[in-house]
Amino acid sequence: MLSGKHIIVGITGGIAAYKAAVLVRLLVRRGAEVQVLMTKAAKEFITPLTMATLSKRPILVENFNPENGAWNSHIDLGCWADAMIIAPATANTLAKMAGGIGDSLLLTTYLSARCPIAVAPAMDLDMMAHPATTQNLQTLAQRGVAIIEAESGELASGLSGKGRMAEPECIVEFIEGWIGRAQTLAGKRALVTAGATIEAIDPVRYITNHSTGKMGYAIASELAARGAEVKLISGRTQLACPKGVERIDVTSADEMYDACVAEWSKCDIGVMCAAVADYTPAEVSTTKIKKSDDDMCIRLRRTRDIAAELGANKGERILVGFALETDNEQANAESKLVRKNLDFVVMNSMQDKGACFGGDTNKISIITKEGTESFPLESKTQAAARIADKIENIITK
């Protein structure tokens, strides 16, 4: 599945560097072309000769060859790669990546790479649990770096805990699922809405909701990984744009409506995941509203329903909506299916633990005219894959 893929393996200076030899061997066996980059510290743990022999190419450490001045261009490397995986990634390298420091070829390549990037951290348990490391990993994850979690067990120090680099077989399995994906949606154009809209009351206050955009971003990422050309119309969120996705930022429900309507005629698939305000202030004060001793009332007007508008002009396209309900879940979701002319509704209930705003998990049911399929509590990435599978089923029907 990795045949012809260009993969950079970055090795940093930790005892788990010996496992990088197996990792490179497995990648080469699966048909990948591997370029190894090592930090100077990594050379103390595993020899360049070993890595060059296994990868079938000279490894690179410095920005240039001190003997003849030959330049190792981090830009060219970044453009060449289909993926970059840093394994093992030490606490030091993770901190530099999070801080944007480029004091090695490995780091400047990371900073200039356009491809998906993953790290497999490896360190002693206390370094792993240190707030600085935790925060650096969070920062990298928010910027779209995939984290291949360290495992728990006996560590080189003799202590036991979380910090062992994931086994090379697990890393390869991850890479295959990540970049070796079948391009089942190649040639399809998808529109995904995500995040919360913001409705201004005056220049200082606004009305919004708790949506973080995680589910919509996971769907955009999943569709792009399957080869679709994805436009993500995004309301407020803290998330980085997934690799391979084009994001259009909007603020209000009206702006999201206009952006979606403008794109719809060019699309084959629409997934309406945004938490769009159903009401917006009828008048927006241009100056800050001053308080008085009286109660106050804000008159709200209905916003236009994006999903319903796209549904009314659906043609042969596939349109998916969401229903987040607190009660009467099935009936409410079924009514949205019909009212908005959707192919299916992804329903989640606020009654279910772990299926609410902000978390990394969801518990979804997919509702079509034919019936309902319910799934267990799982990661939003897994839920996104189920939604993409359902879209593919409808396309191939």
The site for ligand CTP, by CB under 6 A, has a size of 16
Q: How do strand 160-164 and strand 151-154 relate by DSSP bridges?
A: antiparallel
Q: Out of 72, 209, 332, 341, which one is annotated catalytic?
A: 209
| 253 in contact with ligand CTP (CB under 6 A) | yes
| Size of the chain, expressed as the number of residues it contains | 397
Pick 143 or 302: Cβ nearer ligand CTP: 302
| 274 in contact with ligand CTP (CB under 6 A) | yes
| 231 in contact with ligand CTP (CB under 6 A) | no
C-alpha closest to that of 90 among 51, 40, 47? 40
| 322 in contact with ligand CTP (CB under 6 A) | yes
Pick 328 or 374: Cβ nearer ligand CTP: 328
Query: CA-CA distance, 220 to 240, in Å (whole number)?
Result: 12
Tell the smallest beta-carbon distance from residue 341 to ligand CTP (Å): 12
Over the range 250-288, which residues count as b (16 or more CB within 10 Å of their CB) and which as e? bbbbbbbbebbeebbeebbbbbbbbbbbeebbeeeeeee
- Sole window of 85-93, 162-170, 217-225, 269-277 interacting with ligand CTP (rule: CB under 6 A): 269-277
- Sole window of 94-102, 146-154, 304-312, 370-378 interacting with ligand CTP (rule: CB under 6 A): 304-312
Active site residue 68: no
Query: CA-CA distance, 190 to 19, in Å (whole number)?
Result: 40
| 323 in contact with ligand CTP (CB under 6 A) | yes
Pick 259 or 306: Cβ nearer ligand CTP: 306
First to last CA, the chain: 26
Tell the smallest beta-carbon distance from residue 321 to ligand CTP (Å): 4
CB-facing half-sphere around the CA of 297: CA atoms within 13 A: 2
Q: Under a CB-based contact definition with an 8 Å cutoff, are residues 89 and 56 in contact?
A: no
The residues binding ligand CTP (CB under 6 A) are: 193, 253, 272, 274, 276, 278, 303, 305-307, 321-324, 332, 336
User: Which positions are annotated as active-site residues?
Assistant: 209
